[in-house]
Amino acid sequence: MLLVLASTSPFRQALLQRLQLPFETFNPNIDESSQPHEKPEDLVQRLAILKAQAAQSSYPDALIIGSDQVAVVENKILGKPLTHDKAVEQLTFLSGKKVVFQTGLCVFNSKTKETLVDLISFTVKFRDLKKEQIERYLHKEPAYNCAGSFKSESLGIALVESMEGNDPNALIGLPLIRLIQMLEQLNYAVL
């Protein structure tokens, strides 16, 4: 059965490539706005489902993967900073704090309409950061397109005091351990 990643994220594509499975990508192009009073956990699961289902007319006989992630600190969702000033502001705010990265994951069988969805959490405790450290980091690695303004898979690890979770891939946006389990649940052999 064809495997489709409903994402244009180069990070998610690189993660899925680690499994050495053939797959196609699809741009889900959905509205990612949260609904009034929607909890971050509900938001990411709803968006993961919508992303996967957005590809069903283009791929009527496929397993479609949808994923969405938010970074949450003190009940506040952090978006992608997009600019240097916003990234400095975010990392200054995150200094010494714990951030929970919530990832919604969905595998949707477009032929049978069977839908598996889950929530995977990963917690990062940031070091106490000085302004000079933040500036040096962003100069070397401008992580403006990443929630939390850092990339744990590269130099961003220098900003971290500790991490807690079952799958470090979840932090990058695609929890591979849970994805493998879901694919196998739908009779798609990874190995």
Q: What DSSP line would sit under 104-140, residue for residue?
A: EEEEEETTT--EEEEEEEEEEEEPP--HHHHHHHHHH
Arithmetic mean of pLDDT, 138-164: 92
Tally of CA atoms within 13 A in the half-sphere of 127 that contains its CB? 12
Whole-angstrom distance, CA of residue 130 vs CA of residue 56: 47
Arithmetic mean of pLDDT, 27-52: 94
Model confidence at 6, in pLDDT bands (50, 70, 90)? Answer: very high
Model confidence at 76, in pLDDT bands (50, 70, 90)? Answer: confident
| Total residue count of the chain as it appears in this document | 191
Residues 87-145: tens digit of each pLDDT: 999 999 999 999 999 999 999 999 999 999 999 999 999 999 999 999 999 999 999 98
- pLDDT of 75 > 90? The answer is no
CATH of domain 2-185: 3.90.950.10
Residues classed as catalytic? 68
